[in-house]
Structure 1
Amino acid sequence: MSTHAPRLNNVFKLAPDTIKAMISVEAAIKASSLEPALLDLVKMRASQINGCAFCLHMHATEARKQGETEMRLYLLNAWRESTLYT
Structure 2
Amino acid sequence: MEQRINIHVKGQEAMKTLFGIGAYLKKSPVELALLELVYFRVSQINGCAYCLDMHSKDARAKGETEQRLYGLSAWREAPYFTEKERAAFAWAEELTKCEVTDAGYAEVAAQFSEQELIDLTLAITTINTWNRINIAFPHAIGTYKVGQFG
Counterpart Cα distance in 1 of 2:16 and 2:51: 17
Aligned residues: 82
Question: Which of 48, 53, 69 lines up with 2:65 in the alignment?
Answer: 69
Which TM-score applies when normalising by structure 2? 0.48
Q: Percent identity over the alignment?
A: 46
1:82 and 2:58 equivalent?
Answer: no
After superposition, the Cα gap between the structure-2 partners of 1:6 and 1:37, relative to the gap in structure 1 and judged at 3 Å, is farther
Cα deviation per residue 1:31-72 (whole Å; 9 max; x = unaligned)?
111111101101111111121111101110011111100000
- Structure 1: gaps (5+ residues): none
- RMSD, matched Cα: 2.1
After superposition, the Cα gap between the structure-2 partners of 1:6 and 1:53, relative to the gap in structure 1 and judged at 3 Å, is farther
Counterpart Cα distance in 2 of 1:37 and 1:69: 11
Greater RCO structure (CA 8 Å; 6+ sep) = 2
After superposition, the Cα gap between the structure-2 partners of 1:82 and 1:30, relative to the gap in structure 1 and judged at 3 Å, is same
Which TM-score applies when normalising by structure 1? 0.78
